Each structure stands twice: as C-alpha cells, then as structure tokens.
Amino acid sequence: MRRQPTFFVLDDKMVAVFSVEKDNCKVTMECLFSKTGIEDYTIEYHGPIEKKAELMNLAIEEAHHIFETNILTV
C-alpha cells in the first residue's frame, strides 16, 4: 500500500517528500519535479550498505510513480 507523499511548491516546480521501506531498511526521499520529470532529489538511507542500491532504486521507481499519478495530472 502506498502512502500519500507530502507536497510542496517551489517556484513553478513541485517537491514531494516520501519514504520507502523494505526489510527493516528505509529511504526518505525529497524529489524536485518539473513539468518534464524528476529534476533533482536527495535521499536519506537507514540500513545495511548491502541493501542501499536496492532501496534507492525502489525510491526512484516510487518517484516516477508519483510523477505519473500526481504531477502530470496537476
């Protein structure tokens, strides 16, 4: 189940803050969106280094989902 991210407006861009969790690991992501897609992001990771790449990929996939379902429709 996906939780609704928190949204902020920055000039003409949208910022979404959300978390992805898996196997006791957590990524919190702040993602800056323009009208064409992801422009920039920051990631805070908590968990073993071996899972970092996997969780970062899940966060980026979630960011693309947020863009398609929430940003494109605005």
Per-residue pLDDT reduced to its tens digit, 2-42? 678 999 998 889 999 999 999 999 999 999 999 899 999 99
Tell me the average pLDDT across 37-66. Answer: 96
Q: Which helix (H) or strand (E) holds 18?
A: strand 13-22
The predicted structure's pLDDT at residue 72: 77
Residue 63: closest CA among 17, 22, 21, 9:
17
How far apart CA 25 and CA 14 sit, in angstroms, is 26
pLDDT above 60 (res 52): yes
* Helices within 1-74 (DSSP H only): 52-66
| Amino acid of residue 59 | A
